[in-house]
Amino acid sequence: MLLFLNPASKICAGENSWKLTLFTPRKEKDPFWGLFVDHARKATSDLGGQIEVYYADGNREKMRRQIEQAASKAGDQEVLVFPNFKKGAGSFLKIIEKKKVPAFIVNSGFTKEENGGRPRQHFRFWIGQLLPDEKQTGNMLARTLVEEGLRRFKKHRNGPLEMIAITGIISDYASIERTEGLKRYAMTEKKVFLRQIIPASWKADAAETGFELLKKRFPKLRLVWTASDVMAGGVIRAAEKMKLNPGKDLIVGGVDWAEQGLQSVQQGKQYASAGGHFLEGGWATVLVYDYLQGKDFAEHGLSWKSRMGLIRSSDWGSKSEMFQRIKPENINYRKYSRYLHPERDSYDFSLESLKSGEYMVNGN
């Protein structure tokens, strides 16, 4: 039985009688959030619903006002979906609780210090969350850069490889968790020396400036870990201005599978990019849809984590086909729904699910 919806109230997919309201922290067409929204739109369309998207333009207070506005006019068959942007989820959920509107958290969750609890614990109308495994991603990216550095620079290395890290907004969950994964790896790997971590607020120009300063401070620098492809692009631009050859003199990695990042990986300027978590826009929509149909996902869990994939410039040829498969127009999100497919034992929210044709529009 649902907590906030009359189970007898069934919704027929295709009648546009349910709604997902999505709040994003950036501007429209953001390199990552644009993809997230595209998948949420496709899933909502596949499942016969309506979607409304708000853009906070980097302003947490603006997102809070938007959530309050949307919650005040929300219909009975509507769920609000938002990230814990700049640690604002506590105040967002208080609004939700007051207005008695179901909410689902995506992309960024509570940190340990925030002590936000679990879905349906402190906030009854917080129905669930779907988050990337950010620590694993930060660790994976660091390991990938170091392994390539040890292979590439073994003839010129005297002592551990020197690395710097450029992270996003210091209060953002993704920035905190990815950096924690990096630090955990660096603490256990004696063959790398993590010189310094600096924030660049997810901005290419800030990453460019930061790299220029740190390269002068640490001239033996070989590895650059960045928390986003956009910032990796800033590093590459700075390196080229300094007459360096990124991809040869310097090994750079990022996160998001943003178009710019994938182009740089294909060109060999950026060695690696982790990503695929924009698919959570579609997967979260499936969970919301099933919930509103009376098929509560609680029996399978309230907190979901997905793992990102990794693409290296060295294996671009063998893996590039995946980026065609994960375009929104090629995925049939109806096939993920347990309400529509009760024969499924659980949800398969993974990149591996798209390697076969099972969840594809044309079945291949």
Domain CATH code at residue 315: 3.40.50.2300
Same domain, 328 and 265: no
Same domain, 228 and 346: no
Domain boundary among 274, 293, 316: 274
Q: CB-based contacts of 170: which residues, under 8 Å, 6+ apart?
A: 176, 199
pTM summary value: 0.91
- Over residues 329-346, mean pLDDT: 95
Asked if residue 7 belongs to a domain, the reply is no
Please state, for a pLDDT cut of 90, what percent of the chain lies above it. Answer: 85
Q: Are 131 and 137 in contact (CB under 8 A)?
A: no
Domain boundary among 274, 296, 325: 274
SS3 222: strand
DSSP state of 338: T
Asked if residue 165 belongs to a domain, the reply is yes
- The residue segments making up the domain with residue 163 are 135-274
Please state, for a pLDDT cut of 70, what percent of the chain lies above it. Answer: 94
Same domain, 42 and 125: yes
pLDDT tier at 115, thresholds 50, 70, 90: confident
Comparison of pLDDT for 319 and 169, the residue scoring more: 169
- Over residues 309-322, mean pLDDT: 90
pLDDT in tens, 39-69: 999 999 999 999 999 999 999 999 999 999 9
Asked if residue 14 belongs to a domain, the reply is no
What pLDDT score was predicted for residue 3?
40
Q: Are 186 and 192 in contact (CB under 8 A)?
A: yes
Asked if residue 212 belongs to a domain, the reply is yes
Domain boundary among 242, 274, 306: 274
Neighbours of 50 (CB within 10 A): 15
Sheet bearing 303-306, strands edge to edge: 50-55, 19-24, 78-82, 103-106, 126-132, 303-306
pLDDT tier at 156, thresholds 50, 70, 90: low
DSSP state of 113: G
Residue 266 burial (10 A CB sphere; 0-12, 13-18, 19+) = middle
Asked if residue 5 belongs to a domain, the reply is no
SS3 269: coil
Same domain, 250 and 307: no
What pLDDT score was predicted for residue 1?
31
| Domains identified in the chain, total number | 2
What pLDDT score was predicted for residue 339?
97
pLDDT at residue 13 is higher than 60: no
Same domain, 141 and 259: yes
What pLDDT score was predicted for residue 357?
82
